[in-house]
């Protein structure tokens, strides 16, 4: 089996509806520019508040993808 190297980046997704949609938004955006996504790990959840009410759900997500550097 060939050795592989993965890079991990941290993203924050937002949604006005839920943490699940916030996390999905982060992964969907990463998938537009990165290839071979492997694992997404939610590392933090929080909410943006306005006037004492929830304005947005935020999910901090670590996403890993296969690193294809120069060989």
Q: What is the domain count for the chain?
A: 1
Grade residue 1 by pLDDT with cuts at 50, 70 and 90: low
| Residue range(s) defining the domain that contains residue 57 | 6-66
CATH number for the domain including 16?
A: 3.30.1660.10
Tell me how far apart the alpha carbons of residues 14 and 44 are, in angstroms, rounded to a whole number.
12
Q: In this structure, how many other beta carbons lie within 10 angstroms of the beta carbon of residue 48?
A: 11
What's this model's pTM, rounded to 2 decimal places?
0.85
Per-residue pLDDT tens digits for 8-65: 999 999 999 999 999 999 999 999 999 999 999 999 999 999 999 999 999 999 999 9
């Amino acid at each position: 089996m060939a050795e592989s190297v993965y890079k991990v980046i941290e993203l924050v997704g937002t949604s006005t509806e839920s943490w699940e949609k916030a996390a999905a938004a982060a992964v969907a955006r990463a998938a537009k520019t990165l290839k071979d996504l492997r694992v997404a790990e939610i590392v933090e959840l929080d909410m943006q508040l306005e006037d004492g009410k929830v304005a947005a759900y935020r999910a901090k997500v670590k996403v890993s993808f296969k690193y294809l550097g120069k060989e």
